Amino acid sequence: MELPLFRHNRPDRVVTFDEYREEGGFEGLKKAFSGMSPNDVQQAVLDSGLRGRGGAGFATGRKWSFVPRDLPGPRWLICNCDEMEPGTYKDRVLLEHNPYSLIEGMTLACYALGVRHAFIFIRKGYEKAAANLARGIEEAKQAGLLGEHILGSEHSIELDLHLSAGRYICGEETALINALEGKRPNPRSKPPFPAVKGLWQGPTVVNNVETLANVPAIVANGAAWFKGLALNPEGAGSKLFCVSGSVKNRACVELPIGTTLGDIIDGACGGMRDGKKFKACIPGGASTQFLKPEHWNLPMDYETVAKAGSRLGSGGVIVFDEGHCLVEATLNLINFFARESCGWCTPCREGLPYVKEILTRIENGRGEEDDIAILREHVKYLNYTFCALAPGAMAPLDGLLRDFEDEVREHIVKRKCPLK
């Protein structure tokens, strides 16, 4: 079956507006505007089982359903393209090949939610994606598919780009809202959740690029079709997996949800690099726990990966081989989180540098047996924060202590990194 996201992709360039239309693009929009109510669109998304592709995996239709419809004043939709989770580059690849699925998906989401003005929040460094989107928005407007009186209806929808200046925390939805308002992008305390009080205190939905880009095909082909794309009964749709680390071909591929980890690495990526042995991987961006060789045949789906003790997350698969020290890998991740912490909540601001110091000590052969217990304590207590940055940072550390405690202890006992 043809998967929805990459089907319009050309190998070496961005698809054109005409090509996208000829291949069935904007059919979902036409279908919705010629006979589906906003509720029908929302129901289709809910029934499809689409879950947030940015990392959290929350059901998209449910998220939309939290927006109160009876409040006066504007509602807002924001597309989160602040893709800065280490190991994650799927949204960039998608938008560099095709900006139209996102534009069409956002127009449909606006229609479903009663939103008149939406924003795409784009990270620094994604200028090519931004240029594609700016051009695509103009083309859609010219064709009457966006802007005033879409397809001759009473609905008018405006789409604007916000080009950020680089900071991981801006991808957290409440920080992103502050950033868009021109405030210092610290996360906000929840509740109230953005669906009730978000951008300029109005009801706001924040969805990831890949999530919204799935909406046109769901509307055009129906919820059952989308569900049927997955290889396992619990799953729905396809997923973009962007693979990096010790594989032969580091690639961003679209595969059915439920494809096994082994099939991603051996199939899409041509196997391990230089005949190395698979030691572990992080399946969904920096804030997920390790998967091990025993998970080789694990179907990559939200439920099954969660049952295996990790998260599907963003689909950013980072593969480690037998030569990689996972203490040092975890230290690298913690270093990232410590640097990107916005500093607002004390456990995150103070805790992460301390964890970094301990891991540095262990990696350099100066660790003590007590350090393991101190690290475990941090895993437990770094949850008391406004946002998920610190808890997310603790996921790989928790995984390290759970699955590779022997490797950590070996560092301490031998007083050096056993892999150096």
Partner 1 sequence: MIPETLKISLEARVASAITAREAAVDVMKELQAHYGWLTDEAVEEAATLLGLSPLQVEELATFYEMIYRRPVGKKVIHVCDSISCWCADCDKIIQYLKDKLGVGLGGTTADGMFTLIPCCCMGMCGDSPAMSVGGTPYGRLTTELVDEILEAERHKA
Contacts with partner 1, residue ranges (CB under 8 A): 83-89, 91-93, 123-127, 162-168, 179-185, 200, 242-246, 250-252, 282, 286, 316, 318-320, 324, 328-329, 332-333, 335-336, 339-340, 342
Closer by beta carbon to partner 1, 45 or else 247: 247
The smaller minimum CB distance to partner 1, of residues 242 and 362, is found at: 242
Is the Cβ of residue 211 or residue 330 nearer to partner 1 in the bound state? 330
How far is residue 273's CA from residue 406's CA, in Å, rounded to a whole number? 25
The runs of H, that is alpha helices, within 14-85 are 17-22, 27-33, 38-48, 60-65
Q: Looking at residue 14, what DSSP letter applies?
A: P
Smaller CB distance to partner 1: residue 102 or 236? Answer: 102
CB of 149 to partner 1, least distance (A): 22
Query: Comparing C-alpha atoms, which of 147, 167, 300, 185 is closest to residue 232?
Result: 300
CB 75 within 8 A of CB 202: yes
- Give 320's strand partners: 280
Least separation in angstroms between residue 314's CB and partner 1 is 11
Minimum distance, C-beta of residue 8 to partner 1, in the bound complex (Å): 20
DSSP 339-353: HH--S-SHHHHHHHH
Closest CA relative to residue 333, chosen from 352, 315, 347, 310:
352
CB nearer to partner 1: pick between 162 and 295: 162
Residue whose pair of structure tokens reads 């008149």 in the numeric block: 116
CB 172 within 8 A of CB 114: no
Q: Of 194, 178, 198, which Cα lies nearest the Cα of 186?
A: 178
Min dist. Cβ of residue 91 to partner 1 (A): 8
CB of 96 to partner 1, least distance (A): 10
Shortest separation between residue 234's beta carbon and partner 1, angstroms: 28
Would you say 62 or 276 has its CB closer to partner 1? 276
